[in-house]
Homo-oligomer: A and B are copies of this chain.
Amino acid sequence: MREIKIVITGFGTVGYRTAKLLLERAERYRSLYQTNVRLIAVCGSTSGLYDPDGLNWDRLQPLTKQAGGVSGDPAAASQFTGASFVAAAGADVLIEAGPTNLQDGGAAARYMRAALQGGMHVIALSKGALVTDYPGLSRLAAEHGGVLKISGATAAALPTIDLLQYNLAGCRVHELTGIFTGTANYILSRMVGEGAELGEAVSDAQRKGIAEPDPRYDIDGWDTACKLTILANAGFQANIRLSQVERSGIGQITPEQIKQWRESGVVPKLTGRLRFADDKVQAEVGLSLYPLDHPLARVNGTKKAILVKTEEMGELFVAGGKSDPGAAAAAALKDLEHLLQRR
């Protein structure tokens, strides 16, 4: 039976959930793909666990799910982390689940480059490395025979990059619009639907664990702009930078505006949009106003959605997909199955 060896870098909540789900599906991989999928290492930023014979649930279960090191296991050691360890570990697939660094991709970018240079496949859950250098990573993958999969970094359980690369393969896309940030949509839905003020809606989202302590990444449209940049570059080879995305957020919305929109029968949504015309792509993040019966107007709470207009297949609207660590893990492992299906 063939064997696939996996390393997971970044062992916070999402990395932990991914490892758990991976181990739970071992029998599925054996019966469906005749493949032994073996998790050989999990790496935090300061230490990791490594066993070429495979880590099992007894080893992983007691680990504390904190960022940084892989704490709680006396076998964790500082030589089992870092890009050189990833390159030397002898794995076939890297699943990158570390924190997002928008400056230069940070550790995630170093892990991913090391893996791709070694001919490994990479499944990315964090966005930083993809935002800052998708074209470079994609080139590395092509040069060394690896595949770079990014569902977990582009709205996860909501299929977005899948739509472009698979469901609509061959179709000319005229326009793509999405509600890509569950947090911002939750806050905006609270403001519009229940008349909450921004600060109140943000606190509420933070209490529920939906928003980060610093919510600006979501509110100011950065998260949407990041996903849009990745989709433009991965789905359309547009080669754009984050700085080229026209971006505004939901932080400046006033109660008067909300009142006005309600009276005019329109619903505001924070959207990311790609438009294609004359071989150029225009990328834009900001408020879009939709009539009540528009499909995007009805996507509320932490839900996400995407609307794609194509030449050959008309419009395709997709909504849903849970926004939690378990769903992100499932998205990464969907990508793994795509790799297993290819071989």
Contact = CB atoms under 8 A, between A and B. Distances in A.
B295 A334 contact: no
Interface stretch (A68-76, A90-98, A114-122, A165-173): A165-173
A312 B18 CA distance: 12
Given A313-B322, A315-B320, A321-B316, A162 B170 contact: no
A182 B341 CA distance: 32
Contacts of A168: 334
A159 interface: yes
Given A318-B317, A320-B316, A321-B313, A25 B334 contact: no
A329 to B, nearest CB: 8
Contact of A337 (B21, B170, B312, B318): B170
A157 B318 CA distance: 13
Contacts of A337: 169-170
A243 to B, nearest CB: 29
A194 interface: no
A216 interface: no
A338 B298 contact: no
B157 A313 contact: yes
Contacts of A338: 166, 169
Contacts of A316: 157-159, 318-321
A67 interface: no
A169 B314 contact: no
Contacts of A326: 312
Of A312, A326, A327, most buried by chain B (CB within 10 Å of CB) is A312
Contacts of A336: 170
A342 interface: yes
A148 interface: no
B170 A25 contact: yes
Interface string A217-236: 00000000000000000000
A207 interface: no
B171 A334 contact: yes
Given A321-B316, A330-B312, A159 B167 contact: yes
A293 B205 CA distance: 25
A281 to B, nearest CB: 18
Nearest to A157: B313
A225 B326 CA distance: 34
A259 interface: no
B170 A166 contact: no
A107 interface: no
17 contacts: A25-B170, A28-B170, A157-B312, A157-B314, A157-B316, A159-B167, A166-B167, A166-B334, A167-B167, A167-B334, A169-B334, A169-B338, A169-B341, A170-B333, A312-B329, A315-B320, A341-B342
